[in-house]
Amino acid sequence: MNIIEGENLSYDYVSFEKKSGFKGSLKDLFKREKITVNAVKNLNFTVEKGKIVGLLGANGAGKTTLIKLMTGILTPSSGKINCIGHTPMFREEKYLSRIGMMLGQKSQLVWDLPARDTLELLKMIYRINTSDFTERLEKLTEMLSLESKINIPVRKLSLGERIKFELICSVIHNPELLFLDEPTIGIDILSQNKIYDFLLEINRIYGTTIILTSHNTKDITALAKEVLIMKNGEFIYSGEVKELRILTDKDISYTLSTNKDINPYIGEKGKCERTGYCRYKLNVHSADELGNLNFKIVSSVQEDASDLDYILSTIYSGE
């Protein structure tokens, strides 16, 4: 079942050129040069319910614009988009109550008040039953180890603690669809891992569909199995993370262990190198080439971690 469907979706930003100087200002009074930027171009896509999908692209690729179209902040210039059976641009209460959104550089929390005060306000906005709110808040703060921080003024919290509370604010009403824009920006590794565990858990328990944008590739490898990659307002890739390598010439590296100190690869010479006693490193362009291994002497095959940063930078630059 698809929870999001986009059909020929486009959005154009329109602005006007401002000439410099007094004479330029006078000319602008009578005639201004219009500038149109095609931020999103004729997109067709679907997202299945319950998936965690990474939305990737270099700065200016159109990611945030697409999220704003899906949440109803922006109205499409042309085309259609349907989210949970609603048209986002109408901003119906029934739709807005079923989605959550967290922007890494925007805050819902009030600086001088405890996070509990903001959450109590959200309880009233979303009309959450008191018993449900109390139970859910206890569970969410426990999952993120924030039980002792909820009554402390936000200004006294660490960046990681504030980000975690921002996340709780975005899911306190148990949304079916969650949009996260740079959720781990600027926080330490331990806090990142805590957030990953949290998001995976709410996805597993509640079936929450998550759309995630990030320049931190660890966010993608930890959470998303599928990605949509944008460039100049268009999708250049839609599919599984593990298949991204097909867009580049980067080889797959495997570490092999053998029960005999003999090169186990019977294919092209030079692809498999000895790195130690009964240990070899194999570089191939496709997993199909593993068929050239002599499995009578291979005791283990382990794929090395993909260099997603390298792969994405190659894709973004078009090299």
The whole-chain average pLDDT of the chain stands at 91
Please give the Cα distance from 183 to 164 (Å, whole number): 9
Query: Mean per-residue pLDDT for 255-280?
Result: 91
Contact call for residues 97 and 177 (beta carbons, < 8 A):
no
Helix pair angle (115-125, 159-171), 10° resolution:
10
- Give me the sheet containing 226-231, strands edge to edge: 99-103, 177-181, 209-213, 52-56, 226-231, 234-240
pLDDT tens digits, 37-56: 999 999 999 999 999 999 99
Tell whether pTM > 0.75.
Answer: yes
Contact call for residues 83 and 99 (beta carbons, < 8 A):
yes
Q: What six digits make up the tokens of 294?
A: 């002599």
What are the helix and strand counts (H, E) for the chain?
9, 13
Question: pLDDT: is 245 or 47 the higher one?
Answer: 47
Residue where the block lists tokens 């570490």? 255
Please give the Cα distance from 92 to 86 (Å, whole number): 8
Helix pair angle (159-171, 189-206), 10° resolution:
10
Q: What six digits make up the tokens of 291?
A: 């068929």
Please tell me the number of Cα atoms within 13 Å of 233 on its side-chain side: 13
| Residue 168 scores a pLDDT above 70 | yes
pLDDT tens digits, 61-93: 999 999 999 999 999 999 999 999 999 999 999
Nearest Cα residue to 100 out of 210, 198, 16: 210
Residue where the block lists tokens 């199909």? 288
